[in-house]
Structure 1
Amino acid sequence: MNLHGWIIYNGTLSGNKFLDYAEWIQQAAYARGSETTIYKNNELNPYLVSGESGLIKNKDEKIADYVVFADKDIYLAKQLELMGLHVFNSSQAIEISDDKIATYQHLAKAGLPIPRTIVYPKVFITAQPDEDVINNAIKSLGFPMVVKESFGSFGEQVYLIHTREELWNKVNELLGKAFVFQEFISSSYGKDMRLQVVGNEVVAAMKRASKNDFRANVSAGGTMEAYTPTKIEREMAVQATKSIDADFAGVDLLYGADGSPLICEINSNAHIRNMYDCTNINVADFIMDYIINTLTQE
């Protein structure tokens, strides 16, 4: 079967890491006999009229057999699905993964371990901080406490809060946005693990650590080393990925106080270069094997 794919990444973000991801996927597809075209998301504009929907695109090319969607533009991903294309990951999986509140809701429903989390009520920017909600969060979670915006990347919208005054100020700053109060897992200060899941297996894993920050993100200066996860960690990462119906994902695990893991985040579009640099495992190969196997079995 001669499959043709589209690979879509965000065309408006600075830096080359998103194009880099797309090119790794493209190389893996080519090695398996599948030609692909890389698109920026702003090169494919959903076109909607009564009884018809499609795309305005600046390349005269046939419709793809599959799409690797390396972006968070869920409206475009949904448009492609409505046109009958098979999108990896689905728009729904991307939407849940991008929204940390939705992610925690799905993880909790699946019975998977997460830090204790309290969702701040949806309010408008003209509101004042809700003292009762803040007091309940302090009583339930104590200090230090993590405040985490529901939408964000690279750990940049995650804050470690130490005092009531600091918490009050942060809530006031975030009013109008979706965010949560979350238990601080002190046993995982500055360290976590990233497990890359494809289908039903963990194909690569690494530990991440930071000496100067409670967050271990490599993009924020953390270091990394190859890691062989335990059976429990592997099963948890696969179950987490399935809980949001993702085909593949990077699952971040924290170290619980008793040594057992907790799920921190699920990344539907986890970048794979750091994982390769750390482990010498090319996750793109596993992703393309999964996609081709899925399509040929349909």
Structure 2
Amino acid sequence: MWKILMISSQLGDRSKSLARAFEKRACEVHLTRLEAVHFDSTSPSGFAMPGFGNTLPDAVLVRSMGAGTFEAVTRRLSILHALGSLGVMVWNSAQSIERCVDKSMTTFLLQQAGIPTPPTFAVEGLEQAQAVAERELSNGPLVLKPLFGAQGKGIKLIRKVQDLPAPDLMADTYYLQRYIRRDGPPYRDFRVFVCAGRVVDMMIRRGDDWVTNVQRGAVPEAVPLALRAQLSDLALRAARAVGAGFAGVDIVPAADGSLPVIEVNSMPAWAGLQTVAQTDVGEAIVEGMLSALDATRSIPLQTAVPV
């Protein structure tokens, strides 16, 4: 029986449904927020975590982490790094989460892997951001995104240098990406859900706003069969590039016919996707994680060879 620690910032129905899916497979599951897991040098395990006493879980599933100060987030990621260093399987790993939370690193890894992604610039200071804007705006608008952000929050279209916000509104860090011209309104993009090296399902997100997040009112729709193979290939390559066991990959259909990848989310939600998916996404995550866990414990013992 595997012992699973499931991390979620919101201990709601979807997290509890995942826990029940593990329990159906004879796993012992403890659901908690990462804030409740502590380093404790007086414990034999080095940790204090709900439900485990002096023992460690076999695996940790990170569904979501709440916002926090730089110090708090650093401590939480250190917990995941430390668990991984002790042989606990962490899904997704701390390294993968860091790569995806930091949009500049995601873009770098996509570009290095030869995956189409928009020209992107990440700089510190308003003066450097202004220099980028002055140089690049002749090629069209730029999209300013929070370096650490999700669900389309804080995204701004930059059409002129004066549109750049003050440094204190951006933590003095500017992530600027070439705006992808596409048909609309309505606007569309694709979210592809990848798990354990395969595509679980995908959706179109259609909305009147060019920021096509379901949380901002976009409507999920099924993806035509003719597009699924190309989108699947891009999404699988993107997930591998960041080292994610499961991920939500966002792809935009550009007006020129290209399909650039704009984001890889290592802690994706799937409520919108589930409304059009033919597969139970939560069940797929559980199956994928347990298969990966089984694989780590099935390394054959070496047979001694007589000299």
Under a length normalisation based on structure 2, what TM-score does the superposition of the two structures give?
A: 0.83
- Give the aligned residue type for 1:257: A
For 2:21 and 2:288, how far apart are their aligned partners in 1? 11
Correspondence for 1:26: 19
Correspondence for 2:97: 94
Q: CA deviation at 1:260?
A: 2.1
For 2:199 and 2:52, how far apart are their aligned partners in 1? 38
- Give the aligned residue type for 1:163: K
Structure 2: gaps spanning 5 or more residues: 66-75, 297-307
Cα offsets for 1:197-217 (capped at 9, x unmatched): 012211110000111x21000
Q: CA deviation at 1:288?
A: 1.6
Correspondence for 1:209: 206
Cα distance change on mapping 1:210 and 1:74 into 2, 3 Å: same
Q: CA deviation at 1:33?
A: 2.5
Cα distance change on mapping 1:19 and 1:84 into 2, 3 Å: farther
Correspondence for 2:40: 47
The 3-state SS of whatever aligns with 1:30 is helix
Give the root-mean-square deviation of aligned CA atoms.
2.3
- Give the aligned residue type for 2:215: S
For 1:185 and 1:40, how far apart are their aligned partners in 2? 37
**2:196, 2:292 within 8 Å by CA — same for their partners in 1?**
no
Cα distance change on mapping 1:19 and 1:75 into 2, 3 Å: farther
Correspondence for 2:238: 240
The 3-state SS of whatever aligns with 1:255 is coil
Q: CA deviation at 1:195?
A: 0.2
The 3-state SS of whatever aligns with 1:118 is strand
**1:5, 1:66 within 8 Å by CA — same for their partners in 2?**
yes
Matched, 1:220 2:213: no
Count of residue pairs brought into register by the alignment? 280
Cα offsets for 1:150-170 (capped at 9, x unmatched): 101111021112222212xx1
- Give the aligned residue type for 1:115: P
1:1-298 superposed matches below 5 A = 2-10=1-9, 16=10, 19-48=12-41, 54-61=46-53, 62-72=55-65, 73-120=76-123, 122-123=124-125, 129-130=126-127, 133-142=129-138, 143-167=140-164, 170-174=165-169, 176-187=171-182, 190-211=187-208, 213-227=209-223, 228=225, 229-298=227-296
**1:53, 1:83 within 8 Å by CA — same for their partners in 2?**
no
The 3-state SS of whatever aligns with 2:252 is strand
For 1:88 and 1:292, how far apart are their aligned partners in 2? 10
**1:69, 1:77 within 8 Å by CA — same for their partners in 2?**
no
State which drifts further: 179-188 or 108-117.
Answer: 179-188
Structure 1: gaps spanning 5 or more residues: 11-15, 124-128
Choose between structure 1 and 2: higher strand proportion.
1
For 1:289 and 1:178, how far apart are their aligned partners in 2? 39
